[in-house]
Structure 1
Amino acid sequence: MTSTQSTGALEGIRVIDLTQMLAGPYCTMMLADQGAEVIKVEPMEGDATRAGGPFRADDTLQLYGGYFASVNRNKKSIALDLKSPEGRAILIRLCNSADAVIENFRAGVMDRLGLSYEMLRKENPKLVYASIRGFGDPRTGRSPYTDWPAYDPVAQAMGGIMGITGPDADTPMKVGPGVGDTVPAAMAAFGVVCAILRAGRTGEGQYVDVSMVDVMLSICERIVHQRAFQGVNPHPEGNRHPLLAPFGMLKASDGWVTIAAHTDEFWKTLCGLIGRKDLVDDPRMATRQARVANKDAVYDAVGAFVGRHTKQQLKDLLGGKIPFGPVYHIDEIAGDPHFAVREMIVEVEQPGCATPVTIAGVPIRMTETPGAVRRRAPLLGEDSDEVLRAIGFAPGEIAGLRQAEVMK
């Protein structure tokens, strides 16, 4: 783990984390990475992703796998039975001490448990309450799909990103990572910080509602203005951009690279570097608009050069001179000095393993309060005693609650 000792810009902020799977935990991970105290409240059997793996071959305990380890670092864990009155009472006390509570259950679940935003804010008016759902919460606009369950592929499909991704106009395709979860998570983290900032000024919390489908549309903003300004219904463009050329992926002799030389300046530089200065004066490619209108000819000309060279040769020739990047796989990422100096692959302890494992680092860099991976993901209920003592429970009370199987 990083040696950075700063506790982060969100030091002193307490977040109650009632999330599961990916979207919610990624949101609270972002807050924890920046120094917030995130208390993960799990069911008595634990977050389902603990058992989901993947597990390293030498893990003798298998208490949690890579999925859980990656997005639950820097958090504390307490296990509560929220179906019991005692468990709900504990959660209410936790929320009374918190700046924010975040959940990603289906709409109405928290209300039925007697833990709605309206109920919790009565005792803590400054509380920021955030939810991440497929189609949002009725409090900010009831969708006809409010009650539909949703995961990443549903958000990608209905939010527009699949409809413009794919090898050809007729073949939509899922984006590889779970952007239908992680991007809404980042939006929710931003919303929570904004609401906490306002609560500090006004003493008034609020409800933060993030719809996964809405977020997908927001990051596909281009399709909205293309429809409005051009009257088109965008479809997948393969590895090219519909409005810029060359701006996309080309095949090298040993893999793929990306080139974004759409401006006149970068186009002239690229043509010189590949020994095709004649293309600068070619009327089909002389202007930005002409290159878009004749993108097949542009890609054919550049692609003929790219295809004769390796990714490394192209990196040596083009890197730093035009916008260029080889298409990396994780082994190449792990070997590139950029990711090492930026601490984007970090080691953490893994219970049950003799040596550390690696997880992705923190991409938001701050000079005075740098975020960091300071602690591995917690064991189930690892911090229950500490958390309950901090809100006034005596050791005997904690022991009684554990014996009654209200908590772990």
Structure 2
Amino acid sequence: MGGALTGLRVLDLSRVLAGPWASQTLADMGAEVIKIERPGAGDDTRGWGPPYAKDSAGNDTSEAAYYLSANRGKKSLTIDITKPEGQDVIRQLAAKCDVVLENFKVGGLAKYGLDYTSLCAINPGIVYCSITGFGQDGPYKDRPGYDFMIQAMGGLMSVTGAPDQDTGGQPMKVGVAVVDIFTGLYAAVGILAAVRHRDATGEGQYIDLALLDVQTAILANQGMNFLTTGKAPGRLGNAHPNIVPYEAFPTADGYIILAVGNDSQFKSFCAVAGIDHLADDERYATNRSRVAHRETLVPLIRQAMVMKATDDWIAILETANVPCGPINTLDRVFDNPQVKHRDTVRYLDHPTAGKVPTVANPIKFSKTPIMDETAPPMLGQHSEEVLRETVKLSDEQIAQLRAIGII
């Protein structure tokens, strides 16, 4: 049985993370993704290491872990799109694809005749998704956009990190490139919606997706906290602006996360923590009142939490149905029995590394399960296959393209 997107062909002109994350998501679900790369260089992330995948002798391969994280299940075709011959190959591919994905700067592909208007003339049903920092219009449209700077400009860093008055308090970025990841997921969702429309009407369309737009959208409750009050929320460290207690607390040997989401859970927590009287105190009996009095409540909880070790607290709190958890390092994450049970880490055959690990797509389909993933491709690994089978070029034509440096 094929994946849910078997038969969908994606021409992926993107590189680095946001675009490749979108196309990897589509590939996981069965789409054929043809990744276009620069001859001799490829996607920038191939060299974003260490660490790199190791060969059988323990030596570094040319595949950085960063690249491996976002390019599973694709075919790599090297094409010099700056040359007319390369542009012609891309146009031939676009005529036989359902989707084009790119993250060039605004207008960057128009000079090559590879923009939406040009490719739509060849294939009116094409779904063409452009990812940029700031979108195709507006005063910032020509600026480059990178995850770190967008986290700052889009407000995420203003609500992430410890308050200024705390030791070391300063704005902080998230530990992974969440704007790129979310943009990739929004791109995949948008592409599938446009494909659904294309299948119903025969009409393709253009998708304009901006990192800043995505960052603003995923402010979620924090964005609405501002819009409903006119007051910009600040940094609370690990605390939650709308729920108390909902943060990290020190224990006798480390830290634990308490995520008390309602008044019943708070009452249960107080009972097992030996602070029953707080649940009946009018200052703390409801979440509204706990948020208003967090400055007096949180120190009282801290005093109780430091009396036991983290694992002891988890055993007690889970029995009382109080949401909690440890702050795991990644070695503990991947050794977690639940993570193992969910088959989160898989190993894929690789031409030079033997096997490379991958973190599986988390979507669990009942009818079209994600299966038969392939390792991220070596640079140009599928060039001749794609040109021969999809573009229908002869061996002589492929040899000529190689001779003049197009592939």
* Equivalent residue in structure 1 for 2:17, among 22, 25, 39: 22
What residue in structure 1 maps to residue 263 of structure 2? 264
User: After the TM superposition, which parts of structure 1 deviate over 4 Å for at least 4 consecutive aligned residues?
Assistant: 56-59
Displacement of 1:349 after TM fit? 3.4
What residue in structure 2 maps to residue 193 of structure 1? 192
Alignment-mate amino acid for residue 343 of structure 2: E
CA–CA distance in structure 1, aligned partners of residues 375 and 254 of structure 2: 35
Alignment-mate amino acid for residue 24 of structure 1: G
- The CA RMSD over aligned residues, in Å, is 1.7
CA–CA distance in structure 2, aligned partners of residues 99 and 340 of structure 1: 36
Preserved CA contact (<8 Å) 2:39 2:78: yes
What residue in structure 1 maps to residue 2 of structure 2? 7
What residue in structure 2 maps to residue 234 of structure 1? 233
CA–CA distance in structure 2, aligned partners of residues 388 and 376 of structure 1: 20
CA separation of 1:195 and 1:59: change in aligned 2, threshold 3 A: farther
CA–CA distance in structure 2, aligned partners of residues 177 and 224 of structure 1: 21
Alignment-mate amino acid for residue 387 of structure 1: V
CA separation of 1:59 and 1:211: change in aligned 2, threshold 3 A: farther
What residue in structure 1 maps to residue 146 of structure 2? 151
In structure 1, the gaps of 5 or more residues are 1-5
CA–CA distance in structure 1, aligned partners of residues 162 and 371 of structure 2: 38
What residue in structure 2 maps to residue 345 of structure 1? 345
CA–CA distance in structure 2, aligned partners of residues 20 and 41 of structure 1: 9
Pair 1:252 & 2:248 matched = no
* Equivalent residue in structure 2 for 1:34, among 25, 29, 37: 29
What residue in structure 1 maps to residue 68 of structure 2? 69
CA–CA distance in structure 2, aligned partners of residues 59 and 100 of structure 1: 39
What residue in structure 1 maps to residue 89 of structure 2? 90
Give the alignment's TM-score, normalised by structure 2. 0.93
Deviations 1:77-101 (A, max 9, x none): 0000111111111001111111101
* Equivalent residue in structure 2 for 1:163, among 158, 162, 173: 158
Alignment-mate amino acid for residue 183 of structure 1: F
Displacement of 1:319 after TM fit? 2.7
Displacement of 1:224 after TM fit? 3.2
In structure 2, the gaps of 5 or more residues are none
What residue in structure 1 maps to residue 328 of structure 2? 328
Displacement of 1:243 after TM fit? 1.6
What residue in structure 2 maps to residue 52 of structure 1? 48
CA–CA distance in structure 2, aligned partners of residues 157 and 223 of structure 1: 15
Pair 1:43 & 2:33 matched = no
Displacement of 1:404 after TM fit? 2.0
CA–CA distance in structure 1, aligned partners of residues 52 and 237 of structure 2: 35
CA–CA distance in structure 2, aligned partners of residues 147 and 65 of structure 1: 30
Displacement of 1:293 after TM fit? 0.9
What residue in structure 2 maps to residue 103 of structure 1? 102
CA–CA distance in structure 2, aligned partners of residues 331 and 60 of structure 1: 23
Pair 1:371 & 2:367 matched = no
Identity of aligned residues (%): 36
Preserved CA contact (<8 Å) 1:319 1:325: no
Report how many residues are paired: 397
